[in-house]
Structure 1
Amino acid sequence: MHQLNSLEKRAALALALVFSSRMLGLFMLLPVFALYGAELAGFSPLWIGLAIGAYGLTQAILQIPLGWLSDRIGRRPVMLGGLALFALGSVVAALADSVYLVTLGRILQGAGAIAGAILAFAADVTREEQRPKVMAIIGASIGLSFAAAMVLGPLLAKWGGLSGVFWFTALLACCAMLLVAFLLPNSVNKAPMAETLALPESLGAMLKHRQLLQLDFGVLLLHLMLTAMFVVLPSLLQHYGLVSTQHWQFYLPLLLGSFVLMIPMMLIAMRKAQEKGFFLLAIALLSAAMLLAALQPGFWPLTGALLLFFIGFNFLEASLPALVSRIAPAGQRGSAMGIYSSSQFFGAFLGGVLGGTLLQHFSYQALFAALAVIGLIWLAVASTLLLPPRAQRLSLRLSVSNTEQANTLAAQLTALQGVQEVTIVLAEKRCYLKVSSAQFDTAQAQAVITAAGA
């Protein structure tokens, strides 16, 4: 029971490949569009930002609704439909001769918002005790796809220009559709939805949860800063003498170095119980990096600034979803993660708009300075973040029939040692628990449920 079985391994691999291929296609435009898009009609700094960030708007709008739809018509149809939209958007962008059509293509790419359906499918086919491993594998694929995009984007643009990048993205989408159609296991079982998908009745509560809103605000700013930076970064590297065909040689060691330097931060933060301190340090690194880039022109100061930025970015990209999962109330993690994901993509859209606007009307120094200020604002907001103790999440089956029985049982379970939160979802016939694993006795909780006739 402590290892993934063959079905779980197959699902984890296939879903990670589908997720990462889609994100790879979205990310590959970042390091190349500011350079290769100059040949397009209507090209301007503002439209650089709009084209880069446009996918984030439709992703943010459709992320939660498509998750709900997958619960109605099935995961596979939603995933196939989303990937088809992604492929269509890629083809539109590949054939475009104006920046406006490229932006339309990016909007269509973003409309294939299938993250919720992918995670729900992962939950459907995995055992509860193995589910965190599968989710972690899928989550890690995002970071790997970003690193790969920084290298592959410039290489593909060197070979086939901007259209070559989009044709490759369309090919990735078609390969992902084949994975969904033929490699993913068939499943008619459905996992508890409250911990996987956003529920309409939970969204209001999540939007009032102060700690979760701080994290949603944080990931919005994180991706705003990333997207806005790439509006100017490729052109700036070329200005400093690094031709576009060499940009991958710049990004690769930079990202590898940032990963190597980020890992000790993660280990110390977890082992020494200093998560908040390192969380704030990572935000400070973002702001310091942008300030250095604004005040010290030149290739080497920019290189140092980007190394600092990506150390902080990688740490936060890994930490933020883990904190959301940890803070989210029992039985409401799906809703919390749905809002978090929408905030992330909306941040990418805002970053494109902000970056393009500042670059068109001011200078790259003004853009970096604005991002440094945004980092400081985030640092001030995050300084009030309260982290709860680590907890294990469990779900137990019930047969309660009314609210009165559910309230009585919830009170009895709350009184057990080690129980931090109890949520009973009548529609699912399930009880969700957040517990301290060192103190909680599962058998005792099951006995309470049995004695209550539930």
Structure 2
Amino acid sequence: MKTSQLLGPERRAIAGLASLYATRMMGLFMVLPVLALYTRDLAGATPTLVGIALGGYGLTQAVLQIPFGWLSDRLGRKAVIGFGLGLFILGSVVAATATSIEMIILGRCLQGSGAVAGAIMALLADQTREEVRTVAMASIGMSIGLAFALAMVVGPLAADAFGLSGVFWLTAVMAVASLLVLWKLVPAAPKRQHQDVGLDRRQLKGILANSALLRMDISIFALHMILTACFVAIPQQLVSFGIEPAHHGWVYLPLMGLAFVAMLPLVIVAEKYRRMKPVFLGAVATIAISLLLLGIEGIEDTGLTMFLAVLWLFFVAFNLLEATLPSMISKLAPAGAKGTAMGVYSTSQFLGAFVGGVGGGWLTGQFGLSGVFIAMGLLALLWLAAVWGMQPPRHLASEVVGLSREVSHLSAVELQSQLLAIAGVEEALVVREEQVAYLKVTRDTLDDKALAHFTRQRDDETPAGTEVPAS
């Protein structure tokens, strides 16, 4: 009988892969609030090189993400993920033992070269059934948000206790722990094809030509460019207010916590009350305004409280966009093309981090800290102009359904036509090789009984060793 209840192996896979993803991203994020402060005295350090060190991981992530995904299709998911984690460990060790800024840059680029995000998503899809896959993917998104918040606090505390090298040693230890989780906790799974997971070259042209998705790619590029550039300046600005680097973690902790609390009602307004466009545009405008305020000459004279209040406003908008952009991608992507859309989106995100690091370092050297904030504020205004004319995304949910034996005699075209005739089904893509249909549906009007005719029962297809929930 088909069930949306998680099975035992699925729970272990979700827990293991979400924790693996989170610890890896936390390792990359932990240096954001500390690197600009702790590399200034390294041999050869300049603001531009510090910026490259901050965002260098993004370049190798962007370039190697797609090749790692293809390798995982051919060599196996766990082997490729393990190799990527090995590269991450190597990069962490190189950075931890660095005595020059160039070695830090090399280490950061090596960290990013283990670009296994797509392979982790594909393995998670291998491990889960169609009816629980949305929940599984959402767990990854939640883990990233948690990793970022923790990194803002743990990074400064670790740097104070053990220096910058200690931060990188900590990331290496976490990556080793992730390897153990991968091999011991995550169950083995057959390699399957999933058109909604990973980048499909056949869909790439259509995704790149989709103006609505292109606006989202521009948005995540700009968001992470701004974030990385600002973290060249924010730690130094806190120091200028007399806050020692050792205490920066305690500054970020309440800021991130209060920003998260303030963000939640806005997410509910966007999703539940279907006000995604005004909430999205409002968040971009808030980022622009907060950055321009941070860049005003004499911000130090207004006092630390005002600076932190504006910074809090920035984090509210940042966290809101970080939470809602993937949801918008899912709504806008055509049926069966979400994986390709997310692949382009992730590549844009990592490229933004690289450009932001380089740009933030250069701007600091040329125009000082205020120049970084002003330039990023102006960039945010251009971003706002680019997305202003967007259409509100339709509130469609993604469904992946296994096809029943009763409809196996029908062609893909016939199946697609019949699925589209069901009330609430807005888009349908039938993939015979996978024996599934990828759907975009309106939950409020979906005729579940009519759809059930096309859906296979799972009892006789439960993988060997799978735990069936007790009735």
User: Structure 2: which amino acid aligns with 1:95?
Assistant: T
Deviation, 1:302, is 2.1
Task: State the percentage of identical aligned residues.
Answer: 44
The equivalent of 1:329 in structure 2 is 334
Could you tell me whether the CA contact under 8 Å between 1:67 and 1:116 is conserved in 2?
yes
SS in 1 for 2:445: coil
TM-score (norm 1): 0.94
Distance, in Å, in 2 between the alignment partners of 1:44 and 1:276 is: 41
The equivalent of 1:267 in structure 2 is 268
The equivalent of 1:350 in structure 2 is 355
Deviation, 1:444, is 3.3
User: Structure 1: which amino acid aligns with 2:209?
Assistant: K
SS in 1 for 2:287: helix
Distance, in Å, in 1 between the alignment partners of 2:76 and 2:454 is: 35
2:256 aligned with 1:251, yes or no? no
Deviation, 1:287, is 0.7
Distance, in Å, in 1 between the alignment partners of 2:453 and 2:265 is: 43
Deviation, 1:443, is 4.9
SS in 1 for 2:439: strand
Aligned ranges 1:205-354 → 2 under 5 Å: 205-295=206-296, 297-298=299-300, 299-354=304-359
Partner of residue 382 from structure 1, selected from 372, 384, 387: 387
SS in 2 for 1:433: strand
SS in 1 for 2:437: strand
The count of corresponding residues between Structure 1 and Structure 2 is 448
The equivalent of 1:421 in structure 2 is 427
The equivalent of 1:12 in structure 2 is 14
SS in 2 for 1:393: strand
For structure 1, the 5+ residue unaligned runs are: none
Deviation, 1:429, is 4.0
Distance, in Å, in 2 between the alignment partners of 1:365 and 1:449 is: 58
Deviation, 1:448, is 7.2
TM-score (norm 2): 0.91
Distance, in Å, in 1 between the alignment partners of 2:266 and 2:275 is: 10
2:40 aligned with 1:35, yes or no? no
The equivalent of 2:122 in structure 1 is 120
Could you tell me whether the CA contact under 8 Å between 2:255 and 2:312 is conserved in 1?
yes
Distance, in Å, in 2 between the alignment partners of 1:448 and 1:142 is: 35
For structure 2, the 5+ residue unaligned runs are: 457-471
SS in 2 for 1:428: coil
Distance, in Å, in 1 between the alignment partners of 2:455 and 2:31 is: 53
Distance, in Å, in 1 between the alignment partners of 2:250 and 2:167 is: 18
Aligned ranges 1:60-75 → 2 under 5 Å: 60-75=62-77
Distance, in Å, in 2 between the alignment partners of 1:440 and 1:261 is: 33
SS in 1 for 2:149: helix
Could you tell me whether the CA contact under 8 Å between 2:399 and 2:439 is conserved in 1?
yes
User: Structure 1: which amino acid aligns with 2:346?
Assistant: S
Deviation, 1:449, is 9.5
Deviation, 1:398, is 7.7
Could you tell me whether the CA contact under 8 Å between 1:409 and 1:449 is conserved in 2?
no
Aligned ranges 1:125-136 → 2 under 5 Å: 125-136=127-138
Deviation, 1:426, is 4.4
Alpha-carbon distance change, 448 to 426 in structure 1, aligned in 2, over 3 angstroms: closer
Distance, in Å, in 1 between the alignment partners of 2:109 and 2:15 is: 28
Aligned ranges 1:42-57 → 2 under 5 Å: 42-57=44-59
Please tell me the root mean square deviation across aligned C-alpha atoms, in Å. Answer: 2.0
**After superposition, what is the alpha-carbon deviation per residue over 1:113-172, rounded to whole angstroms, capped at 9, x for unaligned?**
111111111111112221222211221111111111111111111111111111111111
Could you tell me whether the CA contact under 8 Å between 2:223 and 2:318 is conserved in 1?
yes
The equivalent of 2:177 in structure 1 is 175
User: Structure 2: which amino acid aligns with 1:93?
Assistant: A
The equivalent of 2:96 in structure 1 is 94
Could you tell me whether the CA contact under 8 Å between 2:400 and 2:436 is conserved in 1?
no
Partner of residue 366 from structure 2, selected from 361, 368, 378: 361
User: Structure 2: which amino acid aligns with 1:378?
Assistant: W
User: Structure 2: which amino acid aligns with 1:391?
Assistant: A
Could you tell me whether the CA contact under 8 Å between 1:410 and 1:423 is conserved in 2?
yes
Alpha-carbon distance change, 449 to 393 in structure 1, aligned in 2, over 3 angstroms: closer
Could you tell me whether the CA contact under 8 Å between 1:35 and 1:235 is conserved in 2?
yes
Deviation, 1:310, is 0.4
Deviation, 1:10, is 1.1
